[in-house]
Each structure stands twice: as structure tokens, then as C-alpha cells.
């Protein structure tokens, strides 16, 4: 089992070491993911529950009433 996992690990390590354009593409992908999940989340996805409630019991009640209202 260990040699099988080691072979898979070496396959990926050797593949990433020999990349030239791929490293730049992975860097672009990681930067885009950071922008999407870290930066855009702050500006476009506010924490709606914390704005409307104070503690966890209020959150439970708020969510249940919202679900009931939206289902009607």
C-alpha cells in the first residue's frame, strides 16, 4: 500500500516540477480563487443572520420563520 501511494505522490511531484506554463496557469487559478472567495465575499455576501439577530436562539427562530413565510 505504501509503495502505491508513494508512486502516485512521485508522479504528481515530478509532473509539477517539469511544468513551465502550467505553473503560471496554476498561479492565475489560485489568484482568481482568492479573489472570488476572499475579496468578493466581503463586499457582495454580507452575513445576513448576524445583521438580523443577536444570539444563536434568535438565529434559529429567524431561519424557521423565514422558511415558513417563503413556503406559503
Our measurement of the distance from residue 2's CA atom to the centroid of its chain's CA atoms, rounded to an integer in Å, reads 31
- The parent domain of residue 7 ranges over 2-71
**H or E element: which one contains 14?**
helix 2-17
Q: Domain tally for the chain?
A: 1
Of residues 16, 37, 12, 14, the one with CA closest to residue 26: 16
User: Whole-structure pTM over 0.75, yes or no?
Assistant: no
- pLDDT bracket for residue 1 (50, 70, 90): low
- Do the beta carbons of residue 62 and residue 52 sit within 8 Å? yes
- Do the beta carbons of residue 49 and residue 62 sit within 8 Å? yes
pLDDT, one tens digit per residue, over 6-52 is: 999 999 888 888 888 888 888 999 999 999 888 888 888 778 788 88
Amino acid at each position: 500500500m505504501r509503495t502505491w501511494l508513494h508512486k502516485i505522490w512521485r508522479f504528481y511531484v515530478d509532473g509539477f516540477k517539469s511544468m513551465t506554463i502550467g505553473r503560471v496557469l496554476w498561479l492565475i487559478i489560485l489568484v482568481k480563487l482568492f479573489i472570488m472567495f476572499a475579496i468578493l465575499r466581503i463586499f457582495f455576501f454580507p452575513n445576513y443572520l448576524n445583521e438580523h439577530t443577536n444570539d444563536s436562539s434568535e438565529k434559529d427562530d429567524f431561519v424557521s420563520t423565514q422558511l415558513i413565510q417563503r413556503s406559503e
